[in-house]
């Protein structure tokens, strides 16, 4: 039987698999060409835009693995496949600090220039360590720290600049360390909870927040117990904390919708100092979170049935996911994501398609008809990103998949302006 689960086009679609591509070549995790990243990675963040030498606010990005013009073409190619490419700002070794209005405005202009030069879809905020600190006594709703106030204002202006140039919303994601986000339940000051006023101020504009559930030791859950990284309970407890919200000494943090929260994990043991989990542990925890499996440990979800609209997963990094000397097999994290989220109904965030379509499946003979109000190019590809059938510039066409094996496939339609992707399940 042919069954179609239809996705509608949008700013981003969740669940989504997000990964970082290292903008450098290392012997242990070599550079990966952007166009070689498997299509299952629906959102890719280039790591990183960092401050120019001698500053901690004037950011720059220089393509290291390929020539600048080549990377620009690669970004466009990936975007034409319906995927999104962001520039990640900061990283563990590049502190950024917006101490005054001049530094704020320089940060705004430098990030805007990078986005427009390379054609990125938006930014991923990855300020780590002491780049973001919150003073004790301040509140989430009314931050008083200059660096935080300036960062919030800068991101808002970068988004305004993006819409003025591109006529659409800029994608905004964040990758807080554990102390910066869920750690706020244990204390509010310095690193602890430092992202909370930023997330709160930008919650309506945020597309995805993927806390780094690694390199952090232990954290408290909503049930008052302590949970330790590299366990299924840790994934479940920290994720529900971010969705449901929690009290802090800086006030109450209202959680984010489930489709704006993704689970961030290292791709393999060498990708992080600590916190790696094997695929079976990750899969069991994620299925419990999604309401698709049993409880995995001592933590019990406060919301019965879990969070089936969860935003997806993030990994550091795509480069590490590809390395077979680190994983048991190439792209093991990606394959685990596909298994976890198979048969999950996607949701759409923001904006509307530039064309409409109808699909008429015929389960008896494996043929379905697509009718569109514009000419579209159509591709069907498998879980490995291999294109199995391709048809160009059609408004009505019949596609025969009777020769396909049982399983999940993807159908992509592109009218040259927007791209819509459908999940096809053949049973």
Q: What is the pLDDT of residues 188-208, one digit of tens each?
A: 999 999 999 999 999 999 999
- Does pLDDT of 8 surpass 60? no
pLDDT value for 352: 34
- The pLDDT-based confidence of 326 (bands split at 50, 70, 90) is confident
Q: What is the pLDDT of residues 51-61, one digit of tens each?
A: 999 999 999 99
Cβ count within 10 A of residue 365 = 10
Of 415 and 256, more confident: 256
Rg (C-alpha) for the chain, rounded Å, is: 21
- Does pLDDT of 215 surpass 80? yes
Cα–Cα distances (Å) from 338 to 1, 84, 288, 331, in that order, read: 21, 18, 16, 11
- Does pLDDT of 272 surpass 60? yes
- Does pLDDT of 333 surpass 60? yes
Cβ neighbours of residue 387 closer than 8 Å, sequence gap 6 or more = 379, 380, 381
- The pLDDT-based confidence of 375 (bands split at 50, 70, 90) is confident
- Does pLDDT of 316 surpass 70? yes
Q: What would the mean pLDDT of 147-169 be, rounded to a whole number?
A: 96
Q: What is the pLDDT of residues 81-108, one digit of tens each?
A: 999 999 999 998 899 999 999 999 999 9
Domain 13-349: top CATH class:
alpha beta
- The pLDDT-based confidence of 351 (bands split at 50, 70, 90) is very low
CATH code for 357-426?
A: 2.60.40.3080
- Does pLDDT of 393 surpass 90? no
Residues of the chain with CATH 2.60.40.3080: 357-426
The least confident of 146-155, 163-172, 267-276, 390-399 is 390-399
Of 214 and 65, more confident: 214
Percentage with pLDDT > 70 across the chain = 86
- Does pLDDT of 354 surpass 60? no
pLDDT value for 361: 63
The chain-wide mean pLDDT, for the chain, equals: 88
Q: What would the mean pLDDT of 70-80 be, rounded to a whole number?
A: 96
Q: What would the mean pLDDT of 326-340 be, rounded to a whole number?
A: 92
pLDDT value for 7: 35
Global confidence as pTM = 0.80
Closest CA to 128 of 174, 59, 71: 174
- Does pLDDT of 157 surpass 50? yes
Residues of the chain with CATH 3.20.20.80: 13-349
Q: Please list the active-site residues.
A: 128
- The pLDDT-based confidence of 241 (bands split at 50, 70, 90) is very high
In this structure, the strands spanning 208-212 and 387-400 are unpaired
SS (H, E, C) the chain: CEEEECCCCCCEEECEEEEEEECCCCCCCCCCCHHHCCCCEEEEEEEEEEECCCCCCCEECCCCCCCHHHHHHHHHHHHHCCCEEEEEEEECCCCCCCCCHHHHHHHHHHHHHHHHHHCCCEEEEEECHHHCCECCCCCCCCCCCHHHHHHHHHHHHHHHHHHHHHCCCCEEEECCECCCCHHHHCCCEECECCCHHHHHHCCCCCCEEEEECCCCCEEECCCCCEEECCCHHHHHHHHHHHHHEEEECCEEEECCCHHHEEEEEECCHHHCCCCCCCHHHHHHHHHHHCCCCCCCCCCCCCCCCCCCCCCEEEEECHHHHHCCCCCCCCCHHHHHHHHHHCCCCCEEECCCCCCCEEEEEECCCCEEEEEEEEEEEEEEECCCCCEEEEEEEEEEEEEECCCCCCEEEEEEEECCCCEEEEEEEEC
- Does pLDDT of 169 surpass 50? yes
The least confident of 59-63, 138-142, 298-302, 399-403 is 399-403
């Amino acid at each position: 039987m042919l069954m179609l689960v239809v996705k509608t086009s949008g700013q981003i679609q969740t669940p989504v698999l997000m990964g970082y591509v290292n903008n450098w070549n290392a012997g242990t995790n070599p550079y990966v060409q952007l166009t070689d990243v498997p299509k299952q990675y629906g959102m890719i963040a280039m790591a990183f835009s960092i401050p120019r030498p001698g500053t901690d606010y004037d950011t720059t990005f220089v393509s290291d693995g390929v020539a600048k013009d080549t990377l620009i073409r690669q970004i466009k190619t990936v975007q034409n496949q319906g995927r999104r490419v962001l520039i990640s700002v900061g990283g563990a070794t590049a502190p950024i600090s917006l101490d005054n209005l001049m530094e704020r405005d320089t940060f705004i202009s430098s990030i805007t220039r990078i986005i427009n030069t390379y054609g990125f879809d938006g930014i991923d905020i990855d300020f780590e360590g002491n780049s973001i600190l919150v003073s004790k006594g301040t509140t989430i709703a009314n931050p008083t720290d200059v660096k935080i106030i300036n960062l919030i204002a800068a991101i808002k202006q970068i988004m305004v600049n993006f819409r003025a140039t591109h006529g659409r919303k800029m994608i905004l994601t964040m990758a807080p360390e554990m102390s910066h986000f869920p750690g706020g339940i244990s204390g509010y000051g310095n690193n602890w909870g430092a992202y909370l006023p930023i997330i709160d101020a930008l919650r309506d504009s945020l597309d995805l927040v993927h806390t780094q559930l690694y390199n952090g030791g232990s954290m408290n859950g909503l049930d008052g117990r302590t949970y330790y990284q590299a366990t299924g309970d840790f994934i479940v407890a920290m994720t529900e904390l971010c969705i449901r919200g929690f009290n802090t000494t800086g006030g109450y943090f209202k959680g984010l919708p489930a489709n704006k929260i993704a689970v961030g994990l290292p791709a393999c043991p060498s990708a992080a100092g600590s916190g790696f989990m094997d695929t079976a542990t990750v899969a069991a925890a994620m299925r419990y979170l999604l309401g698709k499996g049993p409880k995995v440990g001592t933590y019990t979800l406060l919301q019965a049935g879990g969070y089936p609209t969860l935003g997806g997963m993030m990994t550091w990094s795509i480069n590490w996911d590809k390395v077979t000397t680190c994983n048991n097999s190439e792209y093991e994290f990606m394959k685990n994501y596909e298994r976890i989220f198979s048969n999950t109904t996607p949701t759409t965030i923001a904006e509307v398609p530039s064309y409409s379509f109808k699909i008429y499946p015929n389960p008896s003979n494996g043929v379905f008809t697509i009718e569109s109000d514009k000419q579209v190019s159509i591709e069907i590809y498998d879980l490995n990103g291999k294109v199995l059938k391709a048809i160009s510039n059609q408004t009505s066409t019949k596609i025969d998949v009777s020769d396909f094996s049982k399983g999940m496939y993807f159908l992509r339609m592109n009218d040259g302006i927007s791209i819509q992707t459908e999940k096809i399940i053949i049973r």
